[in-house]
């Protein structure tokens, strides 16, 4: 088995949800390379290949030491031939030709630039590239038909490219708290996603909102959104209603891992000075973002109290950690896990939980705290 520096055995479990994966680790020089190949596979609509590279990278993130030779990889799970070839080349030559040529390819760079626009997915970006477009500027220059999300994405492109800091996340938290408390007192508001896992920066800020009295949360999002709109905080928002129905015979099979909560994908406006000094934006205009203004992507989700633990687990991430939890549930436990519920197919019943700890226990997993879910 794999030995660490002290000669003690490391038993590397094969599902990411069985392991502790800290934010900072020892193998970024390898994981960044593997994640380029994962991203490229995603751009080519090859999900299986993409997940294989992400799982390989994730195993290296959980190692308590830096990989120095191929010997260090003996007995590690999830490292396929392709990943091993890439790792070997980096260890021997300092870089991998495949990774570097991918990184520099026009196709990869154009996909990265175009899917980097809010509202643009792989399919759309691919179509534009086949039409000869390469950058967000090309979209404007050639007058492409854009939907409302994409228009906002292009309009605030450079602002949204800038990483969101923890200080900005705290500031937005204060605005969201003010909104929620003024429309429905007694709510619980939780910072989710990367910031809950301890990241210092993020591509957006995620919030989960609930009320301890089941039912009170119904229609809450619309009230929050109109409060925020009155304050001129929103540059863009798209709200989706809650469409979750609990079926007696277990969850419906669904290809997508999208949940069905009442949710809002939005872009907040902060004054740049405010985002430094810590006071909220109260501008009246509501739609423009001038030079003294900062645009930040914000996701809001409202969950009924009875589903709050599942929603918390589902919106903490990382994406790979979530995917592995669901795979573990299905393959090892004959259970179906979603951000709403956990269903046990052997007993034909829903397993309830008030806390994340209880969900891990139902799944027969050791509890992994959010800061160690950076798979």
Q: For binding to Mn ion (CB under 5 A), which residues are involved?
A: 193-194, 202, 204, 206, 299
Read off the tokens for 59. Answer: 């195993």
- The Cα–Cα gap between 370 and 192 comes to 10
Specify whether the CB–CB gap between 114 and 150 falls below 8 A.
no
Q: How far is the CB of 208 from Mn ion (least distance, A)?
A: 11
Residue 315 interface partner, choices ligand ATP, Mn ion, none, CB cut-off 5-8 Å depending on type: ligand ATP
Q: How far is the CB of 217 from ligand ATP (least distance, A)?
A: 17
Q: How far is the CB of 312 from ligand ATP (least distance, A)?
A: 11
Q: Of 269 and 323, which CB lies nearer to ligand ATP in the complex structure?
A: 323
Alpha carbons within 13 A on the beta-carbon side of 341: 18
Residue 317 interface partner, choices Mn ion, ligand ATP, none, CB cut-off 5-8 Å depending on type: ligand ATP
Q: How far is the CB of 65 from ligand ATP (least distance, A)?
A: 26
Q: Of 67 and 296, which CB lies nearer to ligand ATP in the complex structure?
A: 296
Q: How far is the CB of 319 from ligand ATP (least distance, A)?
A: 5
- The Cα–Cα gap between 100 and 88 comes to 15
**CA end-to-end span of the chain:** 22
Q: Return phi, psi of residue 322, to 5°.
A: -60, -45
- The Cα–Cα gap between 339 and 303 comes to 9
Is 45 a catalytic site residue?
A: no
Measured CA distances, 239 to 149, 260, 293 (Å): 12, 12, 23
Q: Of 211 and 373, which CB lies nearer to ligand ATP in the complex structure?
A: 373
Read off the tokens for 370. Answer: 């959010």
Catalytic residue among 72, 126, 204, 259: 204
- The Cα–Cα gap between 291 and 168 comes to 17
Neighbours of 116 (CB within 10 A): 16
Is 206 a catalytic site residue?
A: yes
What is the contact surface with ligand ATP in residues (CB under 6 A)? Answer: 193-194, 199, 202-204, 206, 258-259, 314-315, 317-319, 322, 339
Read off the tokens for 84. Answer: 């091993």
Residue 259 interface partner, choices Mn ion, ligand ATP, none, CB cut-off 5-8 Å depending on type: ligand ATP
3-state secondary structure of 98: helix
Q: How far is the CB of 93 from ligand ATP (least distance, A)?
A: 31
Residue 103 interface partner, choices Mn ion, ligand ATP, none, CB cut-off 5-8 Å depending on type: none
Residue 262 interface partner, choices Mn ion, ligand ATP, none, CB cut-off 5-8 Å depending on type: none
Q: Of 103 and 197, which CB lies nearer to ligand ATP in the complex structure?
A: 197
Using only C-alpha atoms, the chain has a radius of gyration, in whole angstroms, of 22
Catalytic residue among 72, 126, 206, 259: 206
Is 137 a catalytic site residue?
A: no
Specify whether the CB–CB gap between 267 and 234 falls below 8 A.
yes
Specify whether the CB–CB gap between 91 and 26 falls below 8 A.
no
Nearest Cα to Cα of residue 296 among 168, 183, 185 = 168
Q: Of 111 and 375, which CB lies nearer to ligand ATP in the complex structure?
A: 375
Q: Of 129 and 301, which CB lies nearer to ligand ATP in the complex structure?
A: 301
Catalytic residue list: 204, 206, 299
């Amino acid at each position: 088995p794999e030995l660490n520096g002290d000669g003690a055995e490391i038993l590397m479990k094969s599902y990411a949800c069985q392991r502790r994966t800290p934010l900072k680790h020892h193998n970024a020089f390898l994981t960044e390379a593997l994640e380029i190949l994962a991203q490229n596979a995603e751009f080519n609509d090859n999900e299986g290949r993409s997940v294989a590279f992400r799982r390989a990278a994730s195993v290296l993130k959980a190692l308590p030491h830096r990989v120095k030779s191929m010997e260090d990889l003996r007995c590690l799970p999830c490292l396929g031939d392709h990943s091993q070839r890439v790792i070997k080349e980096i260890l021997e030559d300092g870089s991998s030709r495949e990774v570097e040529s991918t990184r520099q390819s026009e196709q990869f760079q154009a996909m990265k630039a175009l899917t980097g626009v809010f509202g643009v997915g792989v399919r759309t970006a691919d179509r534009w590239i086949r039409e000869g477009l390469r950058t967000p500027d090309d979209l404007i220059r050639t007058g492409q038909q854009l939907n409302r999300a994409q228009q906002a994405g292009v309009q605030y492109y450079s602002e949204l490219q800038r990483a969101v800091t923890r200080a900005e996340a705290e500031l937005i938290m204060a605005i969201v708290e003010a909104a929620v408390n003024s429309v429905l007192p007694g709510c619980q508001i939780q910072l989710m996603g990367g910031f809950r896992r301890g990241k210092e920066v993020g591509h957006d800020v995620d919030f989960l909102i609930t009320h301890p009295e089941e039912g009170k949360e119904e229609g809450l999002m619309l009230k929050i959104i109109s409060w925020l709109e009155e304050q001129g905080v929103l540059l863009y928002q798209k709200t989706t209603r809650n469409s979750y129905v609990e079926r007696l015979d277990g969850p419906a099979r669904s290809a997508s891992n999208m949940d069905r909560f009442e949710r809002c994908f939005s872009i907040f406006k902060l004054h740049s000075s405010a985002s430094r000094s810590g006071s909220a934006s109260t501008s009246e205009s509501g739609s423009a973002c001038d030079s003294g203004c900062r645009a930040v992507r914000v996701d809001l989700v409202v969950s009924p109290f009875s589903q709050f633990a599942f929603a918390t687990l589902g919106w903490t991430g990382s994406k790979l950690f979530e995917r592995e939890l669901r795979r573990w549930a299905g393959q090892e436990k004959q259970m179906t896990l979603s951000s709403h519920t956990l269903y046990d197919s052997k007993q034909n019943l829903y397993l309830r939980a008030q806390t994340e700890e209880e969900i891990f226990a139902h799944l027969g997993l050791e509890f992994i705290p959010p800061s160690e879910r950076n798979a």
